[in-house]
Chains A and B, each alone.
Chain A
Amino acid sequence: EAGVTQFPSHSVIEKGQTVTLRCDPISGHDNLYWYRRVMGKEIKFLLHFVKESKQDESGMPNNRFLAERTGGTYSTLKVQPAELEDSGVYFCASRLTSGIDNEQFFGPGTRLTVL
């Protein structure tokens, strides 16, 4: 069974540019989460989708971040315009609703560097 995949693995952009991260969850997982770790900090929750609906987006830092999950399959996270403090590793995770509570399957992450 394929795991959670994320694209790209690395992205280097300049301040003010736009970047779109993609996450493909495990097939059949209705729950999809985005997290990020900025340098020297803990992994922080960004938002949670159940199918195509945003269940909880309380962790989104500001309106420069836009997440979508059209069709309830893959998800994208767009940062526009990117700022220096957005640099970090962005993780996506998915979870089967009927699975073990709190067992989320994480992707390898996308390392974003904003210059």
Chain B
Amino acid sequence: LAKTTQPISMDSYEGQEVNITCSHNNIATNDYITWYQQFPSQGPRFIIQGYKTKVTNEVASLFIPADRKSSTLSLPRVSLSDTAVYYCLVGGSGSTLGRLYFGRGTQLTVWP
């Protein structure tokens, strides 16, 4: 099981780009990298998933270097509503198990 390490907290101002980096040195060959977002009093919400290189969707971009030992979630032009906890998860794909392993996450606070 690949353990992930990410910053405990980050601060940003509205309109800035935020990059949250996650380390996962023991990632396995068939592991995907997945990021979730969680607001207070809500369940986690899927943001993005990738295996290698770069993935982009309407919410964020995910950068994964060739060695896959780390990944960076990029949030363009954050707003106050992006204040949340962001989790980096590493796990297998294509399995009916699909259990997710959450770490402590990164508390992102966006200031006006």
Contact = CB atoms under 8 A, between A and B. Distances in A.
**Which has the most chain A C-beta neighbours within 10 Å: B89, B98, B103?**
B98
A30 B34 CA distance: 21
A32 to B, nearest CB: 11
**Which has the most chain B C-beta neighbours within 10 Å: A93, A104, A105?**
A104
Nearest to A111: B41
Nearest to A100: B49
User: Main secondary structure on chain A at its contact with chain B?
Assistant: strand
Q: How large is the interface on B (under 10, 10 to 19, 20 to 34, 35 or more residues)?
A: 20 to 34
A59 B42 CA distance: 22
A45 interface: yes
Contact of B98 (A44, A95, A106, A108): A95
Contacts of B93: 101-102
Interface stretch (A13-21, A48-56, A69-77): A48-56
Interface of B: 32, 34, 41-46, 49, 89, 91, 93-94, 96-104
12 contacts: A31-B96, A31-B98, A33-B98, A44-B102, A48-B98, A59-B99, A91-B43, A93-B43, A97-B96, A100-B46, A101-B32, A104-B100
